[in-house]
Structure 1
Amino acid sequence: MSKANDLIAEYRSTGTLGLLPAGHFIDGAFSQPAHNRTMESFDPGSATPFARFTAGTKEDIDQAVASSRRAFDTVWRDTAPVERSRILQRASALILENLDLLAVVETLDSGKALQEAMGDVRGAARAFEYYAGACDKLQGDSFPLGPDYVGYTIHEPVGVTAHIIPWNFPISTAARGFAPALAAGCTIVAKPAEQTPFTALLLADLLFKAGLPEGVCNVVTGTGAETGAPLTAHPDVDHITFTGSVQTGRTVMKAAAEDITRVVLELGGKSPVVVLADCDREQAVSGVLGAIYENAGQICSAGSRLVIEKSIHDDFVAELVARTKALKLGHGLGNPDVGPVNSSEHLGKINGFLDRARADGSDIVTGGSVTEDPATGCGWFFEPTIVDAVSADNELAREEIFGPVLTVQIADDADHALALANDCQYGLVAGIYTSDFAKAHRLARGIDAGQIYINEYFAGGIEVPFGGNKKSGFGREKGLEGLVSYCKTKSIAARIG
């Protein structure tokens, strides 16, 4: 933490950091395009700008895609898997060596608490470590065609991959896409969110320092309209990995359809946490709190709906309210319990949900209002909020708020809880708290979601495939399935007799 403390002191003294990258990262170097257009990046904890970054154009995207195409065709797809593994291992080590810098920058850009950002950086290092171990184990199958034939499959890298990175988990999302793409032999053009550009740039530089050839990983910053749209519509992109809203996901799919480009979409969520009467009460209360208030609820897989059995509802919600009221808000660099939300625009969106809830007479049992850092009177903060006894047709139970707002739905029993859990347009994840493992696994099979947590929300790690059903998207990231997402399977059958 000594390096982190020095960086925090520098920021508090100067209002910025001297180590922030400038320009796009293309062909193994930072470069400022001739147009020299820039944008401000804001610190959500103070609601003030702390740096500027390059506002890219379609021409910058064209340059980055051409660079990645050259690198794919001439170098990376034919690099031996064991050498790709060594580079990814070195990248993992370099990420950990730069833990403090990456975490402080992530906190300033996104607003999240520093300890959460440090966890994200460690997770990014682990992603590269995991896929480094998979590079030389990406094996095909053989087919039993009889004595006169031989048949087998091989996995080939899909080619140039586009990565649209969201603002809520910038380095985590970048790493979980970059690492398997590189392991498979693909090249990368990434467009980080305009709110959080810096850690993707720093990560690309670390990958180059780890031995990645020029052009294998390029990062272009800017707005979605001026850089994201040209990237997803580019005819020389072979695959798109997108994380973001359903509305933007539809736009990405339409752009990809023009050239029949492959896509993996990780979209929104309204994930239920099912708490049954026989649960471990402390375990469940702590799990529900973490599921909704980590990163101020700005998580696609946040447990934003508590579906609780009626017989324990009153005492359980009373305990939740008491512990929610005790949570401390503050600037991310001060390691609060709950940090700010990412932008003024997003704060207004969250507040709109609660204004409508008040007008509808909803039971807001704690929170429900815009607030500020109690230490400074600044920043984009929303009170940790619980809305009780919400009906299944209420927008609070159906729409993704993407903030520190927990909706409570009351179930008569486990079967009713299952029905409530599935009564949703999303199907990303779900949590279950019960001491009856048979009941837990019956619910896990019955809930329509891509990933289920039992007795620990956010259980698992890079080893566990992640992705959604219904309007939460399709395709899987993480795990070995995430590696196969960046491959084309080729079948070969030969007559030998």
Structure 2
Amino acid sequence: MPKTERWSVAENLDLKMVIGGKRLEASNGARIETEDPATGRVIGSFPAATADDVGRAVENSRAALKGEWRSMTPTARGRVLARAAAILRREADRMARIETLDSGKPLREARGDMETSASYFEYYAGMADKLQGDSIPLGPDYMSFTLHEPVGVTAHVIPWNFPLTTTARGVAPALAAGCTAVVKPAALTSLTSLLMADILDEAGLPAGVYNVVSGHGSEAGAALVAHPDIAHVTFTGSVRTGQGIMKTAADHVASVTLELGGKSPVAVLADADLDAAVEGTLKAIYMNAGQVCSAGSRLVVERKVHAEMMERLVARVSAMQPGHGLDDAAIGPLVSADQVRIVADYVDDARRANSLKVLVGGRRLAPAGMEKGHFYAPTIIDDAPADARVVQEEIFGPVLTVQIIDSPEEVVAIANGTPFGLCAGIYTRDISRAMAFARDVDAGQVFINQYFAGGVPTPFGGTKLSGFGREKGLAALSSYYRVKCITTRL
């Protein structure tokens, strides 16, 4: 089979946005083409929604909030979400191939994303009828209790690195709480968020409860966040964009959940199990070619084991062969040519401005048959000073920056030495030291002797420039309901 045929799906990926259960073009007819990052080949397209289109979607979601969805019992809402999980699992292979073509990630990772997405709907399906209020004891002459009510129409501005999982992560708890959702997927990777509308429709979700307005952030995203009928905004993306969203949402007093990336440390102390530390470090930085907000992009290693860690890591990274995601390559492409330029600039600056040593990688790649793809070699930059750009700023690519410490007592200060605070990991056999690290490190999630531990039930979010609010687990639900207290004298 020719590679161009193998790297495809047997369906038309020229999609439309979804408002009120109807597939629609943008009001001005404009469309955006989407490409396979591994080849640069256009694989599909979707509408570039205007501000007017966004207004119609929000209006439709507001109407749906007062219709059939409002009268549906929490148990019935949960059944809709459970059916959506089952249908998504049925369609997982197809959806994973589309996700891989759209984002470039290896197929095994895309398949994992489909299972995670289904798990979000499954988990919150079980919570829909358990959002119970409280009884407040005011004495024998009063009865006081609380109700949990949906906040209203919610906006979900989705990043390009995990298109469907981030959609499901916010939409599933919003629907469980009885809200409606307007989704603005990233212009680079909109396909699976659009196709999710078909799955939810088949699951029995009333029209208008899940609307999708594809388009550019500067128009569709900005219009959505600024709409006065949006009650809550869930956003994952850059710090600068998140700051703008928070300011805009304040104009109509909408609440926000912001997940704004990180520069997460993976600490390896001299007493660590180095086999586990090597595996965890590789996973932490090279999953999805490093395009992960919670990536462990800084290796903080004790000097006693630094040389051995570098020897092992360089050998493993040198053997990683880039390729097409549908071939399940060890590492796939970056999402776009722009992202390659950003990553290359950071590495070139580290060489030029800081004279740092690149142990492996540090160059663009053009695998055979994918010369127009967006590949960058997995890279390790050794012994970086604390003030280097590659230490302080999020690169969002397959670049591991190494910082060396002389004793375990230094680990917390080095781990906390950036303006971000999303995740942190530590490898050590000393559980007391590990727990002290977990206590003192400024991060929303801490992993001990592993990385990317947990799952759908574990709360996720950051501190400092990594944002605020929590997604996943029970903690996510509080963004989507408000508490009403009712008190009566008997």
TM-score, normalisation: structure 2: 0.97
Partner residue, 1:133: 126
Among 259, 265, 281, the residue aligned to 1:288 = 281
Verify the 8 A CA contact 2:82 2:125 in the aligned structure 1: yes
Gaps of 5+ in 1: 1-7
Distance 1:30 1:11, change over 3 A: farther
Residue among 38, 46, 51 paired with 2:44: 51
**Whole-Å separation in 2 of the counterparts to 1:367 and 1:14:** 26
Alignment of 1:26 with 2:19, yes or no, is yes
How many residues are aligned here? 489
Deviation of 1:32 after TM superposition, in Å, equals 2.1
Q: 5+ residue gaps in structure 2?
A: none
Q: How does 1:394-409 map to 2 (within 5 A)?
A: 394-409=388-403
CA contact (8 A) 2:12 2:44 kept: no
**Partner residue, 2:5:** 12
- Which digits, 9 at most, give the CA deviation of each residue in 1:366-404, with x for residues without a partner? 111111224543310111000011111111110000000
Q: Which residue of 2 aligns with 1:82?
A: 75
Q: Residue deviations 1:276-328, cap 9 Å, x none?
A: 11111101100000000000000000000001111111111111111110111
Deviations 1:13-64 (A, max 9, x none): 7966424352111111212244221111011000221112111101110111
1:492 aligned partner = 486
CA distance in 2, matches of 1:418, 1:374: 44
CA distance in 2, matches of 1:184, 1:400: 34
- Counterpart for residue 65 of structure 1: 58
Q: Is the 8 A contact 1:239 1:263 kept in 2?
A: yes
Is contact 2:33–2:42 with CA below 8 Å preserved after alignment? yes
User: Secondary structure of 1:248's match?
Assistant: helix
Return the match for 2:329 from 311, 327, 336. 336
Counterpart residue number, 1:172: 165
The residue number in structure 2 matching 1:346 is 339
C-alpha distance in structure 1 between counterparts of 2:188 and 2:26, whole Å: 20
What's the offset of the Cα at 1:137? 0.7
Structure 1 residue aligned with 2:371: 377
Indicate conservation of the 8 Å contact 1:188/1:216, yes or no: yes
Return the letter of the residue paired with 2:463: N
Separation in 1 of the partners of 2:468 and 2:118? Answer: 25
* Letter matched to residue 376 of structure 2: F
Label 1:47 to 1:316 Cα distance change in 2 as closer, same or farther (>3 A). same
Q: Is residue 255 of structure 2 the alignment partner of residue 253 of structure 1?
A: no
Q: CA deviation at 1:104?
A: 0.6
Opposite residue 395 of structure 1, the aligned amino acid is R
Give distance in 2, aligned partners of 1:230 and 1:200. 19
TM-superposed CA distance for 1:209, in Å, is 1.0
Contact 2:27 2:52 (C-alpha < 8 Å) held by counterparts: no
Q: CA RMSD in A?
A: 1.5
Correspondence for 2:468 = 474
| Matching residue of 1:41 | 34
Identity rate, percent: 51
User: Cα offset for 1:338?
Assistant: 0.6
Q: 1:301 aligns with which of 290, 294, 305?
A: 294
**Residue range with higher mean Cα deviation, 185-194 or 360-369:** 360-369
For residues 441 and 142 of structure 1, what CA distance do their matches in structure 2 show?
37
TM-score, structure 1 length as denominator?
Answer: 0.96
Q: Which moved more, 1:32-41 or 1:168-177?
A: 32-41
C-alpha distance in structure 1 between counterparts of 2:19 and 2:48, whole Å: 14
Distance 1:183 1:153 in 2: 18
State the distance in 1 between where 2:392 and 2:104 align: 26
1:3 is aligned to none
Q: Does 1:424 align with 2:418?
A: yes
Q: Assess if the C-alpha contact under 8 Å between 1:16 and 1:51 holds in 2.
A: no
Matched residue SS, 2:62: helix
Q: Deviations over 1:328-350 (max 9, x none)?
A: 11011110111000001111011
**1:360-371 correspondence runs (5 A):** 360=353, 361-371=355-365
Aligned CA distance change for structure 1 residues 10 and 216 (closer, same or farther; 3 Å): farther
Offset of residue 10 of structure 1: 10
Pairing 1:60-459 to 2, within 5 Å after superposition = 60-360=53-353, 361-374=355-368, 376-459=370-453
| Residues 463-494 of structure 1: per-residue CA shift (max 9 Å, x gap) | 00000000000000000011121111112222
